[in-house]
Amino acid sequence: MSVLEAVEAEAGRHGGGRVLKIGLKIGEWSGVDPEALRFCFEALAAGNETAAPAPLLEIDFRPRQNRCPSCGAVFSLKDFEIECPECHAEVTEPVSGNELEVAFIELEESDSG
C-alpha cells in the first residue's frame, strides 16, 4: 500500500498522469519477499475503483554483495560468509542487498500541451 501511495504522490507532482509502470529495487536482505509483494500489489491495484488498468510492476532483485576495502573485490555472500574470497580479509563492507526503493515510475503523457 505504501508503494502505491508514494507512486501516486510522485505522479501528482508531475502532472498527475496515469502510472503505467513502477520499478522497484528489492534487496535479498530487505525482509521483503518479491513474489509476496507482487501478489499484494496486484490485488490492491486490481481493487482500485477506476477504469484504468493497473500499472505493471517491475522488480529488480538485488543479491547481498560485499566489497573488500583491502583489495576492492566485490562478491556475493554465501552462507553469511563475509571474508573476501580474493585476499581473505576478514572485514568487508556491504554494498548491496538491503535496498527497498522505488527506482522509477513510468507515466502516461498527458494530452494537455
Q: What is residue 112's predicted lDDT score, i.e. its pLDDT?
A: 54
Q: Cβ atoms within 10 A of the Cβ of 31, count?
A: 9
Distance, CA of 49 to CA of 31 (rounded, Å): 30
Its domain, for residue 32, covers 2-107
Counted domains in the chain: 1
- Segment-wise mean pLDDT, segments of 10 residues, the chain, 113 residues: 83 81 94 92 75 85 96 93 96 94 87 54
- Does a structural domain hold residue 86? yes
Output the domain CATH number for residue 39: 3.30.2320.80
- Does a structural domain hold residue 15? yes
Q: Is residue 111 classed as helix, strand or coil in its secondary structure?
A: coil
Q: What is residue 110's predicted lDDT score, i.e. its pLDDT?
A: 64
- Does a structural domain hold residue 19? yes
- Does a structural domain hold residue 78? yes
- Does a structural domain hold residue 61? yes
Q: What is residue 89's predicted lDDT score, i.e. its pLDDT?
A: 97
- Does a structural domain hold residue 113? no
Phi-psi label, residue 15: left if phi above 0, alpha if psi -120 to 50, beta otherwise: left
- Does a structural domain hold residue 57? yes
Q: Which pTM value belongs to this model?
A: 0.76
